[in-house]
């Protein structure tokens, strides 16, 4: 005589097509959301390379300008520093460059987080 399977907990396998359709719809929505987010991130990356960030050191006698894609675009050193030791000028350039790069990185992180929250903030992934 055949054994009865009790592992289904009284649930029927019939009618599970509705859940399957719900899962498919959810996956399609997630894929569309991912595509939209990727498009917006790509657009943001392109715009970011056009944005400039600047910082100064030594009371404004050294200025460094970097792009949003973390490339140094310009370094300006005031004529006031012409008699200054090279090591001091170098330290001022490094300080200004690091500050400008940090501003650019922080901006990128904040904007990326905003875009992520826009698309993923409302999703309940059950994690």
96, part of any domain: yes
Rounded CA-CA distance 20/10 in Å is: 20
13, part of any domain: no
* Domain assignment of residue 45, given as a range: 19-120
116, part of any domain: yes
Name the pTM for this structure. Answer: 0.70
Q: What is the pLDDT along the chain (127 residues), one digit of tens a residue?
A: 555 555 555 555 555 556 778 888 888 888 888 899 999 999 999 999 899 999 999 999 999 999 999 999 999 999 999 899 999 999 999 999 999 999 999 999 999 999 888 888 755 554 4
6, part of any domain: no
Count of domains observed in the chain = 1
The CATH number for 113's domain is 3.30.1310.10
How buried is residue 62: exposed, middle or buried, by Cβ count under 10 Å (0-12/13-18/19+)? Answer: buried
């Amino acid at each position: 005589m055949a054994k009865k399977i009790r592992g289904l907990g009284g649930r029927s396998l019939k009618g599970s097509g509705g859940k399957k359709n719900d899962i498919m719809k959810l996956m399609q929505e997630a894929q569309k959301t991912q595509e939209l987010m990727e498009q917006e991130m790509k657009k943001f990356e392109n715009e970011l390379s056009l944005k400039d960030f600047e910082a100064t050191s030594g009371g404004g006698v050294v200025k460094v300008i970097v792009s949003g894609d973390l490339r140094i675009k310009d370094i300006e050193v005031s004529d006031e520093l012409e008699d200054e030791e090279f090591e001091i000028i170098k330290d001022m350039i490094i300080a200004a460059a690091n500050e400008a790069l940090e501003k650019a990185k922080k901006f990128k992180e904040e904007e990326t987080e905003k875009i992520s929250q826009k698309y993923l903030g409302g999703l309940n992934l059950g994690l």
